[in-house]
Amino acid sequence: MTVETNPLLTPSTLPYALPDYGLIRAEHYLPAFRQGFEEQLVQIRRITMVRSMPTFENTMVALERSGELLDRTSHAFYTVSSADATPEIQAIDEELAPLMAAHQDAILLDAALYWRISQLHEQIGALSLDPEQHRLVERWHREMTLAGAALDDEAKARLTELNQRISSLSTTFERNLLADTNALAVVFDDAIELDGLSDGELSAAARAAVERGLDGKHLLTLPLFTGHPALAALTNRESRRRIMAASLSRGARGGDHDNRAVLVEIARLRAERAELLGYPSHAAAVTADETAGTPEAVERMLRDLAAPAARNATAERAALQGLIDETEPEPFPLEAHDWAFYTEKLRTAQYEIDTAALRPWFEAERVLRDGVFAAAGRLYGLSFTERPDLPVYHPGARTFEVFQEDGSALGLFVLDLYTRDSKRGGAWMNPIVSQSALRGTLPVVANNLNVAKPADGQPTLLTLDEVNTLFHEFGHALHGLFSDVAYPHFSGTNVFRDFVEFPSQVNEMWMLWPEIVGSYARHHETGEPLPVGLIDRLQATGTFNQGFETSEYLAAAWLDQALHTLPAGGSIDDVAAFEAAALADIGLNDPAVPTRYSSAYLAHVFSGGYSAGYYSYIWSEVLDADTVEWFRENGGLTRENGERFRRRLLGVGGSKDPLEAYRDFRGRAAEIGPLLKRRGLDS
């Protein structure tokens, strides 16, 4: 395939080097990847064959310039493979997984390259380097060492085998999960079974059924996590039970899409790899290069939080059971599928808030423009112009050009809001083009959500949780858009895994600040603003149901740690029994409070980048809660405060130690008190 017939083989001429998805076809990807692999290996050989001693320019700069074709092909492809994984794209992904792992090892385990970087590292104090250059040498040396560059040839060969097999299994895990999630979407023959849902939700369920060829029925697709937004509203207990049962069975019900053997093998191979690298467990290998430092530090935090979370969840459960006993003609023991429904009843009784009834105030376009974008304008001076003229990878995606306060261009933001069978579950941010002064590129980032699409002509009304998710994912987008680094190695969200959620969790907080919510939360028919008293009550519910929410999250984080603290040679004979024992160990084994993700659909860990790192969300929340306190103490959502946060934290990417960057912003290290207060765990 030639340059003339494959648009990936030459840099895009579109604004911001946006991939020309209007021209790119599935058959273009593998040839571009293969040429990208070959080109970068040639570029690496040129670095290692230089006869003169290593310098920053002939080694580090040359390394950062290498692989441009591979980078742009990877960004273009992995955006599509997560958001529109057609069978053809899935087949490419499976073939590509071991090839990509082998290529990465060919660079990270290259002895000659490691020698050159080690020479620079040894004399780093004598080199005239600016802070970003200094950190680039340190990070490459650290990452290659942790990857196994210092191992002998036999160990490297085994390591390469392990990495390729793990990569292939991760792709299998994701493919199985997508297929089983689609297969387990719950079909309802009669709308009466969905009593409690709004007209818009029923419309979306009917549309989803029609798209599956099930005219006249209603279909509820499953989100990535265990629960389901509909559980809070459905009055039919059997309907709630069916949804929960389907969700909990994903990847663990036998057949071609069962993930249990896959995840067990991934965990086993990760443990063997860790031993090869000199670590007692995969968790030890991972945390060695995170802000946590050790699995023991993670375990201490999780155990410290689990006890008060479980205590609060027990109290919440008793209150819900009391409500059932008082209000149901034939009381029954509370089960997992009942929790959300009776929680909403209790919330209504205690705070006069029915979150399901809030949806008319959360019309998606208004939330986006007058909420998410407006907050970014208020804090950072940004403005957004939609660019329907630019090609997108799927008709459901939209592109916006982002401008700074002085009118200069910042980058592109792509929003892909709606669920579809070819999109993986959950919500995420992808870099499509990474910012780099060295390469002369500006950022292009994409946010994906999985909101049910209503029938044509009907408004998209979001749940409170979906509003929160939109703000959260846009925090990741800002992290990418504000990147201001020289070297692509540090661009955007290329930071420690247990720091990457921090900016996004901060951005969540603005959704209920009066000056923001007052702008976007308006009834989609009347324009009536959400009553101030109701906003006040929403803010007052900050600790409501936090026992449950903290417990379900901690349970998933603990399963991740348990699976990845296994030593080499350790085995898991029965995944369900292993999970039960692990949850009992930390005191989070209440069947009415199921883990947010069971192992067989814990995609963050087995097909994402969070293995032994799912704890990151709560770890980052310590910084997030402390940051929000700083904003409150310093005048709120002002341009001055936003600029400080942008310049000292968001813009530095991975070019600075994250905790050092935090201290630079905050004036001190983070304190845990605000987090405990936020989650009601301080008493």
**Catalytic site positions:** 473
For residue 478, give Cα distances in angstroms to 270, 483, 498, 506. Answer: 33, 8, 18, 11
Distance of CA 284 to the CA centre of its chain: 22
Phi and psi angles of residue 433, each rounded to the nearest 5 degrees, phi first = -135, 130
365 φψ region: left (φ > 0), alpha (ψ -120 to 50), beta (else): alpha
Task: Give the orientation angle of helix 373-380 with respect to helix 464-481, to 10 degrees.
Answer: 40
CA-CA distance, 175 to 168, in Å (whole number)?
11
CA-CA distance, 424 to 81, in Å (whole number)?
9
User: 515: closest CA among 358, 378, 413, 404?
Assistant: 378
Per-residue HEC secondary structure of 617-628 comes to HHHHHHHHHHHH
Tokens of 349: 């009784």
Residues of 408-445 as b/e, b for ≥16 C-beta within 10 angstroms? Answer: eebbbbbbbbbbbbbbbbbbbbbbbbbbbeebebbbbb
CA-CA distance, 599 to 604, in Å (whole number)?
10
CA-CA distance, 278 to 568, in Å (whole number)?
11
Phi and psi angles of residue 553, each rounded to the nearest 5 degrees, phi first = -70, -50
Distance from the first to the final alpha carbon of the chain: 66
Tokens of 333: 């023991």
Q: How many CB atoms lie within 10 A of CB 154?
A: 8
Instruction: List CB contacts of 168: < 8 A, sequence separation 6 or more.
Output: 94, 97, 98, 101
Task: Provide the residue count of the chain.
Answer: 683
Report whether 7 contacts 20 (CB < 8 A): yes
Instruction: List CB contacts of 442: < 8 A, sequence separation 6 or more.
Output: 16, 17, 409, 410, 411, 433, 435
CA-CA distance, 73 to 80, in Å (whole number)?
11
User: 680: closest CA among 486, 541, 531, 480?
Assistant: 541
Per-residue HEC secondary structure of 642-672 comes to HHHHHHHCHHHCCCCCHHHHHHHHHCCCCCC
List the alpha helices (DSSP H) in 532-680. Answer: 532-540, 546-564, 575-586, 603-606, 616-633, 639-648, 658-666, 673-678
Strand order in the sheet with 428-433: 383-386, 397-403, 409-418, 444-451, 428-433
Burial category of 203 from C-beta neighbours within 10 Å (exposed 0-12, middle 13-18, buried 19 and up): buried
CA-CA distance, 676 to 655, in Å (whole number)?
30
Bridge-based pairing of strands 383-386 and 397-403 is: antiparallel
CA-CA distance, 371 to 361, in Å (whole number)?
12
CA-CA distance, 134 to 127, in Å (whole number)?
9
